[in-house]
Structure 1
Amino acid sequence: MEFKDYYSILGVERGASEDEIRRAYRKLARKYHPDVSKESDAEVRMRDVNEAYDVLRDSEKRLAYDNLAAGVSPDGGFQPPPGWDEGFEFHRGAAPGDEAQFSEFFSSLFGGRGQRGGARQQDFRARGDDHHAAIEIDLEDALKGATRDISLRAMQMDDQGHPHMQTRTLNVRIPAGVREGQFIRLAGQGMPGYGGGESGDLYLEVRFKPHPHYRAEGRDLYMTLPVAPWEAALGAQVNAPTPGGTVEVSIPPGSGNGRKLRLRGRGIPGDPPGDLYLVLDLVLPPADSDAARDIYRKMQQDLPFNPRRHLGV
């Protein structure tokens, strides 16, 4: 994905004021508007100009974009780094048909075109905007449920109309069985309404912190289970940790590296609950003593085994 330098597109410095950004946009809009421009790429250029202006005129989006762009080179491919928006509130949402007007880069950051501007200047009653934020939780919270204090950063305007960052802490109930990518809705925790209207909602996108043993796919969990060569070859009963405690599992004879053993219902709770998959990982004993090396030499002599036979060598 191409990284888009919105400041360069508008031809302004990174510290440009709102007035400078507005003037640059109007100048470029007159130049590239498809109805008047004779440029062959006017439609594409106008889309980029609209996209850059949509971000840089909005104090929330601009701050999020600046945080992301710091240290990012525009050369080569680009993907938003994991967790770039963790704990940061901003608007998402798109009007019907708006998605096609913006690039993949914009959609990957903001999910569509935010609705901002003249609405709150008018004298009418309306519901407040929704806010979105990403949060990271421990996998154990998804397994058992928990109540956590979550700190979120959001852009606020002071009495003089100047933007500043404000941190607020919310007490959030995390339901057992929540999946990665799922949203927790906090009613009334979004932007205040207009003209006495009700407040918008806050949607928290759940992400799991890295776990030392498990990784999640939907409601299923995966864990690498080390096994000795003789346990895989001959079969064995071994202990394995699970979220519910240690269990004894059967290793079938002749198991190969990477074989999956399924433990039903031992994943993330739900209806139905997920499963736990144990992925076998054959671990060779180290040849760190004379006795161990003698055993390996005997295996080399007594076992007619060529692991490269399938390669024809």
Structure 2
Amino acid sequence: MSWDPYSALGVTRTATADEIRRAYRSLAKELHPDVRPGDKAAEEKFKRATAAFNLLSDPVTKQRFDRGEIDADGNERMAFNSRPRQQGARQHAGAGAGPGAGPGADAFDLGDIFSDLFGPGFGGAGRGGYGRMRGRDMRFTLEIDFLDAIVGARRRISLAEGRTLDVAIPAGVETGQVLRLKNQGGAGVQGGPAGDALVELNVRPHPFFRREGQDVHMDLNISLTEAVEGAKIQAPTPGGPVTLTIPAGSNTGKTLRLKGKGVAGQGDQFVRLQVVLPENVDDDLKKFVKKWPKRDYTPTRPAG
């Protein structure tokens, strides 16, 4: 559940810019770690108040928060879609950048506030370094194809403010895994470092491949002739097609193993054969079956 920056400063949503500034000055004077050294609770309240002030003192981010476009951490509440050729990406990005990044970000200067409170020379960073703050982390959700997750890929995502990021997807990733892109998040305050971009991956299912641990499984249709006589056929793998030898006399359910063709080249691929009759059975096949030796080829079935 998102926190409320207005509550963190103790002001209402109708507060003016001057009221927001005065509220923050009062809290900073009371809670600053240089005033209350070693008080972790006060320090956390001070950090939260500073984050709230950074958001609400910028007219752009304040308006976007009030409209419900971003949350208190600057993360987008709207989805931004980009679908370049068979690839889909859905990003939930932070506000145009981190605290202090909007057009009105210089309306208030934390350095000025701290200097007023604690005297000249306190500066933007402050004696305890609390004016200079790290930017917000920005969170994204990126949808990737099954094959990209298995063999790795590089994809580009678009941020809310028009910036783009190239994301290297390591081979073997899974749904829910989060990639951290250092210093690609919101801009820092008072010269502080930028936050990170946190990209959560969502792997789309494949039409016929499925993953089990480090192995890949699939069902492969073969003809009656290939099953009876055996054959060499092309079989798909995540890394591309390979030649697969079908032993003579293969039946539905027989599973063949392709070593090293699984996830990231570490696991294996298992191919389960399915014997498929032609859709239209011609007279020649019917005559052939009638001449088949009268032996019991009925498969064993569970009792009951």
2:138 corresponds to 1:131:
yes
Deviation at 1:196, TM superposition (A): 2.8
Contact 2:142 2:200 in 1 (8 A): yes
Partners of 2:153 and 2:258 in 1: how far apart? 25
Q: Identify the match of residue 89 of structure 1 among 90, 93, 97.
A: 93
Deviation at 1:56, TM superposition (A): 10
Q: Which residue of 1 aligns with 2:174?
A: 180
1:110-133: CA deviation from partner (whole Å, max 9, x where unpaired): xxxxxxxxxx99963332232221
Q: Which residue of 1 aligns with 2:32?
A: none
Q: Which residue of 2 aligns with 1:241?
A: 236
Q: TM (normalized to structure 1)?
A: 0.49
Contact 2:222 2:274 in 1 (8 A): yes
Partners of 1:66 and 1:269 in 2: how far apart? 34
Q: Alpha carbons of 1:245 and 1:59: their partners in 2 closer, same or farther (altered >3 Å)?
A: closer
Q: Which residue of 2 aligns with 1:60?
A: 70
One-letter identity of the residue aligned with 1:205 = E
Q: Alpha carbons of 1:89 and 1:64: their partners in 2 closer, same or farther (altered >3 Å)?
A: closer
One-letter identity of the residue aligned with 1:179 = V
Deviation at 1:306, TM superposition (A): 4.0
Aligned-residue Cα RMSD (Å) equals 4.3
2:284 corresponds to 1:291:
yes
1:218-266: CA deviation from partner (whole Å, max 9, x where unpaired): 4432222112345446655443233444433344566553443221211
List alignment gaps of at least 5 residues for structure 2.
1-11, 15-64, 80-87, 96-109, 115-129
Deviation at 1:187, TM superposition (A): 0.7
Q: Alpha carbons of 1:255 and 1:130: their partners in 2 closer, same or farther (altered >3 Å)?
A: farther
Quick one: percent identity of the two aligned structures?
38
Partners of 2:148 and 2:182 in 1: how far apart? 21
Q: TM (normalized to structure 2)?
A: 0.51
Partners of 1:226 and 1:266 in 2: how far apart? 19
1:163-209: CA deviation from partner (whole Å, max 9, x where unpaired): xxx4432223334x241233322111112223332111112223334
Deviation at 1:282, TM superposition (A): 2.3
Q: Identify the match of residue 158 of structure 2 among 132, 136, 151.
A: 151
Partners of 2:77 and 2:162 in 1: how far apart? 18
What are the within-5 Å matches in structure 2 for residues 1-313 of structure 1?
A: 59-60=69-70, 86-89=90-93, 124-142=131-149, 145-153=152-160, 166-175=161-170, 177-181=171-175, 182-229=177-224, 231-232=226-227, 236-252=231-247, 255-269=250-264, 273-299=266-292, 302-307=294-299, 309-312=301-304
Count of aligned pairs: 202
Q: Alpha carbons of 1:90 and 1:256: their partners in 2 closer, same or farther (altered >3 Å)?
A: farther
Contact 1:85 1:133 in 2 (8 A): no
Q: Alpha carbons of 1:229 and 1:61: their partners in 2 closer, same or farther (altered >3 Å)?
A: farther
Contact 1:124 1:194 in 2 (8 A): yes
Partners of 1:279 and 1:128 in 2: how far apart? 51
Q: Alpha carbons of 1:207 and 1:262: their partners in 2 closer, same or farther (altered >3 Å)?
A: farther
Partners of 2:259 and 2:300 in 1: how far apart? 36
Q: Alpha carbons of 1:284 and 1:235: their partners in 2 closer, same or farther (altered >3 Å)?
A: same
Q: Which of 1 and 2 has greater Rg?
A: 2
One-letter identity of the residue aligned with 1:216 = R
One-letter identity of the residue aligned with 1:136 = E
Q: Which runs of 4+ in 1 moved over 6 A?
A: 55-58, 62-67, 120-123
